[in-house]
């Protein structure tokens, strides 16, 4: 048996369900809402089956995901999210670099790191931050007020999670300047990120303390689940880049949001058409 989830921005197309039925035996269809349905299939799915179903979904502007056997919506206690390009629309470091005309250099490193081509995230972050030396601290405020926007469904996701008593955890390879402001804006339960060194109103090109990399993100998620008397199956994890994979691995449900191909491949759900809050329909 295998459960797959279908997500559409407005309403699930019954034609898509009929097309799935041509190649798979559907045991049951549960419409969670008009835009979200869970199908129980008789057989388990291999890699080719999954790719075929996701491709079918694309034709119907529908995100198709695969629910792990251990996933139980009522057991979820933690919602862990990446920040840059997941909860928000930008990579903050790239936009800060724009203030000194170095966006191209920095964003090239960012993209390579997110695709998994640079294996050491800490090294890639230090290389990028070094390029920010001399940037006025006021540039951070400008990025937050002028360029940073929440991604579709972000506010609803956080509010919906809190309404269900779920602990919201923002774990970012970005910077505390932004996570603290988002925590205040969204009333997030907990945030972790990297701290930029600022002296006399200018960035020094250094990061203070230990880097929040993929391993650190995973550790924060596991620690919070443990503190709540649960294991990682009690967490939903959301991200877009390869440094999110460690925290996504073994979670109750992992969601790739408009993510790099390597992340989509490994995640349970890949959201390309719907907003962040679509996963609330499974709870």
Active-site residues: which are they? 82, 84
150: DSSP letter = B
| Selection from 127, 128, 4, 91 nearest residue 56 by Cα | 4
Number of continuous H segments (helices) and E segments (strands) in the chain:
11, 11
Using an 8 Å Cβ cutoff, are 106 and 131 in contact? yes
Using an 8 Å Cβ cutoff, are 148 and 88 in contact? yes
Quickly count: other Cβ atoms within 10 Å of residue 184's Cβ.
10
Phi, psi of 190 (to 5 degrees): -160, 140
Q: Which residues pair with 208 in a beta bridge?
A: 195
Q: Scan for tokens 């191209």, then name that residue.
A: 104
């Amino acid at each position: 048996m295998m459960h797959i989830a279908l997500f559409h921005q407005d309403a699930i197309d019954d034609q898509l369900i009929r097309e799935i039925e041509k190649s798979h035996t559907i045991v049951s269809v549960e419409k969670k809402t008009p835009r979200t349905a869970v199908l129980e299939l008789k057989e388990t799915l291999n890699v080719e089956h999954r790719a075929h179903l996701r491709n079918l979904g694309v034709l119907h502007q529908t995100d198709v995901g695969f629910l792990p056997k251990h996933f139980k919506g009522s057991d979820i206690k933690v919602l862990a999210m990446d920040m840059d390009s997941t909860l928000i629309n930008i990579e903050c470091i790239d936009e800060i670099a724009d203030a000194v005309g170095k966006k191209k250099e920095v964003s090239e490193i960012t993209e390579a790191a997110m695709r998994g081509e640079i294996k050491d995230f800490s090294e890639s972050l230090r290389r990028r931050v070094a390029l920010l030396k001399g940037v006025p601290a006021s540039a951070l405020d400008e990025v937050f007020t002028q360029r940073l926007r929440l991604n579709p469904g972000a506010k609803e996701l956080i509010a919906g999670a809190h309404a269900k008593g779920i602990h919201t955890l923002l774990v970012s390879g970005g910077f505390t300047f932004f996570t603290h402001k988002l925590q205040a804006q969204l009333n997030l339960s907990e945030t972790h990120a990297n701290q930029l060194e600022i002296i006399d109103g200018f960035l020094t090109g250094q990061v203070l303390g230990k880097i929040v990399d993929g391993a650190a993100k995973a550790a924060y998620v596991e620690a919070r689940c443990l503190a709540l008397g649960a294991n990682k199956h009690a967490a939903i994890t959301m991200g877009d880049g390869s440094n999110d994979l460690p925290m996504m691995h073994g979670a109750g449900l992992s969601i790739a949001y408009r993510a790099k191909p390597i992340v989509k491949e490994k995640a349970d759900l890949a959201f390309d058409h719907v907003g962040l809050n679509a996963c609330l329909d499974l709870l």
